Amino acid sequence: MNLSMRWLADYVKADVPIKEYCHALTMSGSKVECYETEGKDISNVVVGKILSVVPHENSDHLVVCQVEVGREAPIQIVTGASNVNAGDIVPVALDGSALPGGIKIKKGKLRGVESNGMLCSLGELGLDVRDFPYAIEDGIFIMQEDCQIGQDIQSAIGLNDTSVEFEITSNRPDCLSVTGLARETAATFDLPLTVPEPSFKGVEGDISSMLKVDIHDPEHCPRYCAGIVKNVKIGPSPRWMRERLRASGVRPINNFVDITNYVMLEYGQPMHAFDLRYVEGSHINVRKAKAGETIMTLDGVDRELTEDMLVIADEKKPVAVAGVMGGEYSGIMDDTTTVVFESAYFEPTQVRRTSKALRLKSDASARYEKGVDPTISMTCLKRAFQLVEELGAGEVLDTVIDCGHSNFQPSKVEFDPQWINEFLGTDISEDQMKEYLGRLGFTFEGSSVVAPSFRIDIECKADIAEEVARIYGYNNIPSTDFRGVARAEFTEEQKFVRALRNAAVALGGYEIATYSFVSPKYFDKIKLPENSPLRKVVRIVNPLGEDTSVMRTSTLPSMLDVLSFNYNNRNESACLFEIAKEYLPVEEKRNYQGDEAFLVSSGQPRHEYEYQLPDEPQRLTIGMYGGNADFYALKGMVEQLLAELHISGYEYIRAKDSDAFDEKYALHPGRSAVILRDGVALGFLGEIHPDVQENYEIGVKTYAAKLNIPELMAAAQDKITYSPLPKFPATTRDLSLLVDDEVPVAELEKAIRSAVGKILEKVTLFDVYKGAQIESGKKSVSYSISMRSHDGTLTDEQADSAVKKALKALSAVGAELRG
C-alpha cells in the first residue's frame, strides 16, 4: 500500500519529519518499507514562458527560443520541438539542472548557437499523458497549470507529494486504505482523526424504474448497493485526484474509473462502475455462474466459469466476476451515457477461491479476500457520488438500491485488564488500556470490548492484548526470565549423530550442506537400472526448475555434484561428508489406527489424508578425490568411524554381489563393497565408476561411501566395558602365505582367527605382493599374528601348536606357507 502524505493530511495532521513518521508507524505495527518524495531527482527545473521562437540559422529542424524564467533577463534555448509558440508556459531545465534517470543539463552550443538549458517534455520529467491528459506525448509539455514564471516545476505541477510504502499484513485489510492508515496514524501519535461522512445532492429520479437487483446467494453476497449516474461526461479527472492516484501507485485513466479507484484507496472498499446499456433487461442478478458460462474480463482474457463462482449477471449473461474483475464489454467507454456504480460486500473465501481458480488477481480481489468492512458499502457509494458531483461528471439519481442487509455483528471480546497484564508481563492501568483501544476505534459494553466493523481480525482476548501492546509499545514491555524446572538432554539419536559428525570431522572430513531436492537426471547419471526402486521418488508438483524437482532417494548424487564443483574449481583434493536425509516414498495408504498423534480425545482423526508421508532416514555420505584418496584410504576412514561408534563384527562383501544398494551401479564393480553385519547392510563404499566420473566431469579417481544411520545406531554397542591391560607378554609369529590371487584376504584372516582361537590377540596384514618370484595367478600375503594369554606367559609349544592349526585351516582355503 502506497500512502500519499498529502492525502493523509485530509484526515489527520501528523506534523513530524517523514523519517520519524515512518519509524513511529513501523513500531506501532504498520511497517514502512520505504518512502519516496516525488520529483526528488529533479532539480533546477522551473516554469518558463516562451517569448519568441525564431528559426535556427544553421538548421531547418531546430528553433531558437527566448524564454522568461523569472530572472533579470530572458535566456536563450535551442530546441528541436515543433510544438512551441510564443506565449507558451513550459518546464525549463536550466544550466546545471538534473532530470530523472540521472540526466544532467548543461549549457552549450547547438550548431553554433548558444543554448542555456532545455525545454522539457512530460517524459523527460518522468511523467506521461495520463498524468496530464491535455499534453502531448512527443513534444514539449505546454502547461495549463496555475503557476508563476520561475516557480520550481515540482510545486507548479504538484510533483512534490511524498509516498510512503507500507507492508500491510494479511490480517489488516483495513490498512489498505488512506482512512485506515489515518486511523493508525492518529492512534500512534494520539492525534484527532476527522473522516467526514460523505453525502451527495442528486437529481430527482426513481432508480427502481431503471434498474433491478436480486441477490440469489446472500451467503456469499450479503449486501449489494447500487446507484446510477446519467448524462455522464467521460473525461480526465482533475489534477488533485490524478496526483493522489499517482502517489498511490495507480495510473489515472478517466474520471469514472479514477473515482472507483479513489474510493477504493480511500476506504478500502472496491467499487465497480459499468455501462447500463450492456445490462440486459436492466436487471442485475448476483448468482452462481452456470456450467459452461464464459466471460471476457477487463484484461481481455476469455474465462470459463464454474458453478461455484459468484458472478454479477444481467438477465442473460455474466457481466462481472464478483469481487474479482468486471467484464470487458460492460466497461466504461467514451460514448457511455449512463453508469451504474456497484458497492458490495462479498464473502472473502468465495472471492479467494474464484480468484485462485481463475488465476486472476486484482486490487479488488486482494481486498475482498482478506475482508473489507462489511458495513461501509453505502458510505462508499455515497462517497463516489459526492465525487461525481464534485467533478461535474454527471447527474446522480437521488435514489439508490440497497439490497440485502449484512447480518454483521461486531466482534465482542471479554475485556480483562488483569489477564492482559499477566499475559504481557506488564502493569498498564485499565484506564490507559481503554484509552489506547479507544484511539483504535474500539468501544466498551459492560465487561466487553467491541471491535470496530473494519477490524475483522479481532476474535479473542489475545487480539485485544496485542492492540494494547502495540500502542503501549512492544519495546516498553519488560524482559523477564520464566520460571519452572527444566530438564534437557539429547535423545539417543541426537547423541549418536553428534558423535558421528564429530568423528567425521576428527578424521579430516569437511562437512557440506546440499539441497534435499535434485534433478531426476541423476538416475541416469549414476547408471540406475530402469526398474531401480531409487527411481520411485517423491516429486514436487511446482518446482522452481527441473534441477530441484524431485526429493532425493540417494544422497550420492548430491555428493558427486559437490565433488565435481570442487574439482572443476581446481581444488586439488577434497574429503567431504554430509549428514542428511533421503526421502523414500511409502506406497501404502495412511493408517491412523493406533496413531495417537492423529486422534483427538474423542478418538476421531483430526484430519484424514490417504497419502503416506515418505520415510526420511538419515545418511552419512563421504566423498573424496586427490591427495591420498584411494579405496583403502576411504575404507580406513569408514573403519575408524565404525570403531569410534563401537560398531564391530561386520564384514565386507563385493557391492556387485549385494542387492542392498542400487548405488552399486555407480561404483567400480571390482573396487566397491557393502558393509554387512548380521545380515544387515550398514552401507557401501567404493571407487566411482569411470562412466559416472565422466558424467560428473571429474577427471580424477573419486571415492564415495554411504552409511545408513538408523542401521548404524542399531549396530552400535551401547555399553562399553574396559578390558584389563595384559599382565603377560605377547608372542608373535609371522607367516608368509602363497594363495590364489582371487582369494580375498578376509578369508585368510577368518581362517586364522577361528584356528588360533582364544589366545589370538591381533592379526595384522603387513604385506601383499605379486610379481617376480611369485607364480602368476598367485599372491604372497604376510601376516603378523600376536597371541597372548591372560593366565600366564605362552610357551613356544603353545604358540607353535596354534600356528600349526592356523596353517591347517589356511590350507583348507588354498593358502600355503611360502617356501
Chain residues 22-41 in contact with other proteins, contact rule CB under 8 A = 26-29, 31
- 217 or 582, CB closer to other proteins? 582
Q: From its phi and psi, is residue 469 left (phi > 0), alpha (psi between -120 and 50) or beta?
A: alpha
Among 566, 702, 708, 789, binds other proteins (CB under 8 A): 566
How far apart are CB 812 and other proteins at their closest, in Å? 41
- 615 or 741, CB closer to other proteins? 615
Using rule CB under 8 A, residue 460 touches other proteins: yes
Using rule CB under 8 A, residue 463 touches other proteins: yes
Among 73, 600, 720, 725, binds other proteins (CB under 8 A): 600
How far apart are CB 614 and other proteins at their closest, in Å? 5
Using rule CB under 8 A, residue 643 touches other proteins: no
Cell of 130: 495520463
Using rule CB under 8 A, residue 536 touches other proteins: no
Any idea which residue has 559416472 for its cell?
A: 692
Using rule CB under 8 A, residue 418 touches other proteins: no
Using rule CB under 8 A, residue 491 touches other proteins: yes
Please give the size of the binding site for other proteins, defined by CB under 8 A: 92
Q: How far is CA 165 from each of CA 5, 22, 247, 248, rounded to the nearest angstrom?
A: 11, 9, 10, 9
How far apart are CB 304 and other proteins at their closest, in Å? 21
Among 277, 283, 501, 818, binds other proteins (CB under 8 A): 501
Question: Pattern of binders to other proteins over 47-86, x per CB under 8 A?
Answer: ----------------------------------------
How far apart are CB 205 and other proteins at their closest, in Å? 40
Strand partners, 167: 31
- Judged by CB under 8 A, the chain residues 332 through 351 that form the site for other proteins are 348-349
Q: d(Cα 5, Cα 18) in Å, to the nearest integer?
A: 9
Among 56, 172, 689, 706, binds other proteins (CB under 8 A): 172
Please choose, out of 98-106, 260-268, 505-513, 802-810, the segment that lies near other proteins by the rule CB under 8 A.
Answer: 505-513
Question: Pattern of binders to other proteins over 426-445, x per CB under 8 A?
Answer: x-------------------
- CA 804 to chain CA mean position, Å: 73
**CB-CB contact of 645 with 500 (8 Å):** yes
Using rule CB under 8 A, residue 690 touches other proteins: no
The per-residue DSSP string of 181-240 comes to HHHHHHHHHT-----PPP----B---GGGT-EEEES-TTT--EEEEEEEES----PPPHH
Phi, psi of 812 (to 5 degrees): -65, -30
Using rule CB under 8 A, residue 616 touches other proteins: yes
How far apart are CB 428 and other proteins at their closest, in Å? 12
Using rule CB under 8 A, residue 725 touches other proteins: no
Using rule CB under 8 A, residue 352 touches other proteins: yes
- 459 or 524, CB closer to other proteins? 459
How far apart are CB 162 and other proteins at their closest, in Å? 17
How far apart are CB 472 and other proteins at their closest, in Å? 11
Among 57, 190, 414, 511, binds other proteins (CB under 8 A): 511
Among 408, 583, 592, 650, binds other proteins (CB under 8 A): 583
Among 40, 216, 536, 539, binds other proteins (CB under 8 A): 539
- 600 or 772, CB closer to other proteins? 600
Type of residue at 137: E
Q: How far is CA 21 from each of CA 5, 24, 177, 468, 471, rounded to the nearest angstrom?
A: 10, 5, 17, 20, 15
How far apart are CB 75 and other proteins at their closest, in Å? 39
Using rule CB under 8 A, residue 353 touches other proteins: yes
Q: CA-based angle 471:473:478, to the nearest 5?
A: 140
- 198 or 371, CB closer to other proteins? 371
Q: d(Cα 434, Cα 411) in Å, to the nearest integer?
A: 16
**What is the strand order of the sheet 443-445 is part of?**
412-414, 448-450, 443-445
**CB-CB contact of 600 with 581 (8 Å):** no
Using rule CB under 8 A, residue 322 touches other proteins: no
Using rule CB under 8 A, residue 700 touches other proteins: no
Please choose, out of 226-234, 262-270, 420-428, 808-816, the segment that lies near other proteins by the rule CB under 8 A.
Answer: 420-428
Nearest Cα to Cα of residue 173 among 348, 419, 323: 348
**CB-CB contact of 425 with 480 (8 Å):** yes
Roughly what angle, to the nearest 10 degrees, separates helices 461-472 and 417-424? Answer: 70
Phi, psi of 63 (to 5 degrees): -130, 160
Q: From its phi and psi, is residue 394 left (phi > 0), alpha (psi between -120 and 50) or beta?
A: left
How far apart are CB 474 and other proteins at their closest, in Å? 4
- Judged by CB under 8 A, the chain residues 364 through 403 that form the site for other proteins are 369-370
Using rule CB under 8 A, residue 462 touches other proteins: yes
Strand partners, 672: 686
* Strand intervals (E) in 650-759: 651-654, 667-677, 680-688, 702-708, 731-740
Q: d(Cα 34, Cα 18) in Å, to the nearest integer?
A: 11
Using rule CB under 8 A, residue 488 touches other proteins: yes
Q: From its phi and psi, is residue 420 left (phi > 0), alpha (psi between -120 and 50) or beta?
A: alpha
How far apart are CB 494 and other proteins at their closest, in Å? 6
Strands 103-105 and 89-99, by their bridges, are antiparallel
Among 109, 359, 405, 487, binds other proteins (CB under 8 A): 487
Nearest Cα to Cα of residue 45 among 104, 5, 4: 104
